[in-house]
Every structure is written in structure tokens, then in C-alpha cells.
Chains A and B, each alone.
Chain A
Amino acid sequence: MTEMLLTGPKEGLFTETLREQMDTWIAKYPAGQAQSAVIPCLHILQAANEGWLTTAIMDALASYLSIPAISVYEVATFYTMFELSPVGKHKISVCTNISCMLCGSEKVMQHIEQKLNIKPGQTTEDGLFTLKEVECLGACVGAPMMLVDKQYHEFLTEDKIDDILDRLNS
């Protein structure tokens, strides 16, 4: 991971590559409305910082977009896909909303909890997995489901879960 520059004039913040990535998003919105790009920018920065956001990163983004810092905090705390504390290498988000609940998400959750020996919100000791409970991810047709990193896994059974997690573990 390269060091990000988080203070100083906004032309020099972060790194050149990160700025390039963010600028393509900012350019998609009308001039003066950089605030609209805050979600994609947070994604980019989160990915560049081992999957989580520090306050310093959010502050730097606020000055990069010329918006109040609190506007960045609001977004980052609202969405479950942004992490505000360190996370494991893989992030497991189990949906427990209505459709998944009716199709047995409780068991899914229980199984993962036992298997990894962590509760939702926690990270395994080896730093490999973080478990999260999330709301509907729009895949109700495949309930129960979970999201592991960027991959949706549907119609979950205990075997299937074992399989997915073991593959990531090896």
C-alpha cells in the first residue's frame, strides 16, 4: 500500500492514481456538484486503505471535493458498505431482511458464527474474515443469500457456505 497524502493543498491530496480514479467520477457530474461523487470516491479510497476509512481520509476527501467534512461522515456512516474500523481480508455480509429471514437466514448466520467463532461485527483472530449483518441486498429471489467481498452467493445451505469459506481460507 502506498502512503496517501492526507493534508495540504487539495491538488496534492492522496496519490496521483487515486486522484485520477476519483476525477473520472467527479467529471461525470455537473461542475460544482462534486458532492455527488462522494460514494464512488469513498469506495476508491476504502479499497486503497485495506478496506476501511479513517477520519483523516474522510477529511481529506471533504477538502478534495470542497464540501463540509460532516457531509462525508454522513454518507460513510449511513451505508453499510463503508467501514470505519479495520476489517478482515474478506467481508461476509449476511442479509437478514424479510425474504432471507423467511428462507432461513437465521440458520445461515448461526452456522457462520459457529464456524468462524465470531459474532456479527467481529473479525476472526487471523484477520481473514469479518462478519456483518446487513439489510436487503436486492437478491430476494435467491434467498437466503450473502455477499462475500464483491460476490453474491444465493440459495445458501450449510454445505455451500462451508465450501465458499473453505475456498477462501486456502
Chain B
Amino acid sequence: MGVARFWRDHRIRYQLIGNACPICGNRYFPPRELCPDCHRESIGKMQEMQFSGKGALYSYTVVHETPDDFSDQRPYVMGIVELEEGPRITAQIVELEGEPVIGMPVEMVFRKIREESAEGVIQYGYKFRPAGVKR
């Protein structure tokens, strides 16, 4: 995939920037142009917000058959995390000791996602790790 396509979303991926609808209060990650519930009422009024990066594990899987760009990380854990502000996101779960548990508290960390094979550009973004663990 092209570099510009991912560069556009750098801030969102690096800092967990989403937005909120001032009419119904719903929060979105990634940010949306309009609120799907409030439609045109919300256009131009969506308010940017930074998510805390804290949440709970909603589901997970250990990925053994990986895309080529991820083969050096095999096997890795993918999860869907429910952020404390409401939205869910898909991310890798790292720094685990043993099998993860659905419902466990997790927190965002900033990590290398993959080496882009074609352009050789390294992609960064969020992963999650168990929260409240002494390191």
C-alpha cells in the first residue's frame, strides 16, 4: 500500500484521536465525518477527542497463518478491545504472559506494526498490553 495513504492517518494511529458527536454524545474511533445517528445535524460539529487508551479485552485469537508482512511476528495475538469511552478497536495484544482472558484490563502502547515490504517503510501505531501489571 502507498505511503501517503497511511501517513494521512498518522495522528489518529499514534495518539488515538477520535471524535464525539455534540448532539447525542456518541464517541467514535476512528473519527467520522458525521454521526451515523444524527446525520446532517452533526456535519461540521463533530468534536475531536483523544481516547485514554484504557479498555478491556472483548475477544481475541492467536494468529498462526499470517500475511507476509507479519510473518516475522508469528504467532501473534489479535484482539478487539472495548475502550473505556465506548468504541471498540482491533489491535495486537502484546506483553502477555500466557493466554489472554476476555474481560482483562488492557492499555494502549505505541509500537512498530510492521515493515512495509515493498517500500521498506516501517509502519507504527497502537497495540495493547495487560494493564496494571508491574514492569
Whether A and B are associated in the same complex: the answer reads: no
Residues of B within 8 A of A (CB): none
